[in-house]
Amino acid sequence: MAVLDQLTSQQAIDLENKYGAHNYHPLPVVLTRGEGVYVWDVEGKQYYDFLSAYSAVNQGHCHPKIVNAMVQQAQTLTLTSRAFYNDMLGKYEKFACEFFGFDKLLPMNTGAEAVETALKLCRKWAYEVKGIHENEAEIIVCENNFHGRTTTIISFSNDPVARKNFGPYTKGFIKIEYDNLVALEETLKNNPNVAGFLVEPIQGEAGVYVPSEGYLTKAKALCEQYNVLFIADEVQTGIARTGRLLATCGNCSCINKNCSSSPDVKPDVLILGKAISGGVYPVSAVLANDSVMNVIKPGNHGSTFGGNPVAAAVAIAALEVVRDEKLAENASVLGELFRAELNKYIKTSKIVNLVRGKGLLNAIVINEDEDSNTAWDICLALRDNGLLAKPTHGNIIRFAPPLVMTEEQLLDCVSIIIKTLKQFEK
C-alpha cells in the first residue's frame, strides 16, 4: 500500500495496532479532517468533537487564523534553538505576559514539560529565596491529580496504571486530599520545608471535579501565610475552557476585562499548555513574576524546540482568537445552557446521576460502578449518533466541545446526547 493511499478505518486501526506501541486505547473512529466543531472520519461521516483533544482545540479545528500564522512562519523561519535569538519569541513573551498578567514566561512544548519546569522553578526558589536546606524541599500535590506522564510526575500520581513498574519514584512530594483546606493547613503547619502547592483548579482527568466555592482563594491565602508558592496547573482548565480566561483568574490584570468573576486567585506560578496553541502545534509555558522566575539562570533549564518561532507565532494567533471571538464568554453562556438542559433530563433519568463542570468543561456520572463498561458503550453509541466523547473513568464521560460552538449546535448536541442516553435506560 502506498503511503498516500486513502485507508479505510479498519486498515488505519490495524496499522496502529501492528506498528504502534499500545500506550493508548482509542475509541474506534479514524479521523481525517476537522473544521470548527466538526471532524470527519475516513468514510466521510461527520461528528461533533466533544473532547477537543483534551481541551487543546478550544479555538476549533484548523482555525484559519492560527493555521495561517503557522504556515507563514513555517515558510520564514522554523527553528533556531535558543543558542541564538529569534525575532518572534520576545514578541510572544510580551504578548502572553500582558495577556495573563505576569512578568515573565518560560516557553516549553508539552504540558508535562511545563509541569516539570514549574517543579524545578519551585524547588530552586525554595533553596535560593525561601532558604530551605538543599534537597529538603517538599511540594504538596493532590490525590487523583493528573499532571502528565514523566517519571517525576507519575511519582506523585495515585493512578496504578500510570505508576506500576515505573519506579523508583522521585521523592519530595506530599499528597493530600483535593478540596480539603484542613489537610492543606495541617500539612503546611507541620512541614516547614514545603516550597509549593501544585493544584488543578478543576481536576479534569479525575472526572471533572469542581472544588467547593472559595477553595482556591483560601488555598492561595494559606500558601501566602506559609510562604509557599501556589502553582496552578491550568493546562486543561486554562484559555477560556471554564468560562473565563483562566479558572484561577477572575479580575486579574489580564486584558480580558469582560470576565466578571469572584476575587482573583492569582497563582505564583501558572502552567499552560494544550489550547495555548489551539491544538495546531505543541506549545506550553510557565508564567511567574520576577521574584520567582529570576532564580532561573542560563543552563538551568531548556528545550531545543521550546520558544521556537513557529510556536511563538501560533500561540499569539491562538490567544488573539480567544480574545477576539470572546471564547470565555461563549463557554460561560453555553456551559450554563448545557448543564441546565442535561439537568432537565437527569431528573427523570435512570442511567445518569448528575452533570457537573464549569463553562464547557463538564462531565456526566453514569449510574454504574467505576469498573463497568457502560460509559465506554455509551461513547460508542454517541459515535454512531455523530458525537465523539471519551470516558475518563468507567462511569464518567467528559464533555468538552470546542468553544467556537454556537447555541444552535450545542442544542443539537444535547439532543444527540439525550437520545443516546435514553438507549441505555433499563
Ligand X SMILES: *Cc1c(COP(=O)(O)O)cnc(C)c1O
Q: Which residues are catalytic?
A: 146, 233, 274
Helix, strand, coil share of the chain (percent; to 5): 40, 15, 45
Q: Which of 58, 59, 73, 110 binds ligand X (CB under 6 A)?
A: 110
**Least distance in Å: CB of 52 to ligand X?**
12
- Which of residues 141 and 352 has its CB atom nearest to ligand X in the complex? 141
| 100 Cβ neighbours under 8 A, 6+ residues apart | 245, 246, 249, 252, 254, 270, 272, 287
Of 76-84, 107-115, 132-140, 331-339, the window that binds ligand X (rule: CB under 6 A) is 107-115
**Which residue lies nearer to ligand X by CB, 157 or 349?**
157
Cell numbers given for 358: 464549569
Q: Are 117 and 292 in contact (CB under 8 A)?
A: no
**Out of 125, 146, 197, 281, which residue is the one contacting ligand X (CB under 6 A)?**
146
Q: How far is CA 69 from CA 279, 301, 412, in A?
A: 13, 28, 32
Residue 2 beta carbon to ligand X: minimum distance, rounded to whole angstroms: 32
Nearer to ligand X, 110 or 420 (CB): 110
Among 54, 92, 125, 215, binds ligand X (CB under 6 A): 54
Grid coordinates representing 123? 524547588
Minimum Å gap between C-beta 115 and ligand X is: 6
Considering beta carbons, is residue 243 or 273 the nearer one to ligand X?
A: 273
112 part of the interface to ligand X, by CB under 6 A: yes
Task: Report the site for ligand X in 147-166 (rule: CB under 6 A).
Answer: 147-148
Within 266-325, which residues bind ligand X (CB under 6 A)? Answer: 273-274
* Count of chain residues binding ligand X (CB under 6 A): 16
CB of 55 to ligand X, least distance (A): 7
Residue span binding ligand X (CB under 6 A) among the ranges 220-228, 229-237, 309-317, 355-363? 229-237
Helical (H) or strand (E) element with 181 = helix 181-190
Q: Which of 152, 157, 236, 242 binds ligand X (CB under 6 A)?
A: 236
Q: Please provide the DSSP assignment of 197-235 as one string.
A: EEE-SSBTTTT-BPPPTTHHHHHHHHHHHTT-EEEEE-T
Which CA distances in Å does 155 have to 205, 236, 406?
17, 20, 41
Binding segment toward ligand X, per CB under 6 A, in 77-85, 230-238, 248-256, 411-419: 230-238
Stated as kind and residue range, the H or E segment containing 40 is strand 38-41
Which element (helix H / strand E) includes 142? strand 138-142
Minimum CB distance to ligand X, residue 235 (Å): 4
Stretch that binds ligand X, among 142-150, 164-172, 187-195, 353-361 (CB under 6 A): 142-150
Q: What is the closest distance, in whole angstroms, from the C-beta atom of residue 56 to ligand X in the complex?
A: 8
Of 41 and 49, CB closest to ligand X: 49
Contacts of 76 (CB under 8 A, 6+ apart): 309
At its nearest, how many Å lie between ligand X and the CB of residue 45? 27
Beta-carbon contacts of residue 112 (< 8 Å; ≥ 6 apart):
147, 148, 149, 150, 153
CA atoms within 13 A on the CB side of 17: 10
> Which lies closer to ligand X via its Cβ, residue 233 or residue 329?
233
Closest residue to ligand X using C-beta atoms: 111
Residue 124 in contact with ligand X, rule: CB under 6 A:
no
Name residues contacting ligand X, limited to 322-351 (CB under 6 A): none
Residue 385 to residue 248: CA distance in whole angstroms:
35
Options 66, 96, 115, 223; binder of ligand X; rule CB under 6 A: 115
Identified binder of ligand X from the candidate list 41, 233, 264, 268, rule CB under 6 A: 233
Query: What are the Cα distances from residue 165, in Å, to 22, 102, 150, 168?
Result: 16, 39, 13, 8
**How far, rounded to the nearest angstrom, does the alpha carbon of residue 31 sit from its chain's CA centroid?**
22
Interaction of residue 111 with ligand X, rule CB under 6 A: yes
Closer residue to ligand X, CB minimum distance, 231 or 364: 231
Q: Which residues contact 204 (CB under 8 A, 6 or more apart)?
A: 54, 55, 146, 236, 237, 361, 392, 398
Contact between residue 134 and residue 172 where contact means Cβ atoms under 8 Å apart: no
Q: Other CB atoms closer than 10 Å to residue 70's CB: what's the count?
A: 21
Minimum distance between the CB of residue 270 and ligand X, rounded to whole angstroms?
12
Nearest to residue 281, comparing CAs of 309, 307, 238, 310? 310
**Site residues, ligand X (CB under 6 A):** 54, 110-112, 115, 146-148, 200, 204-205, 233, 235-236, 273-274
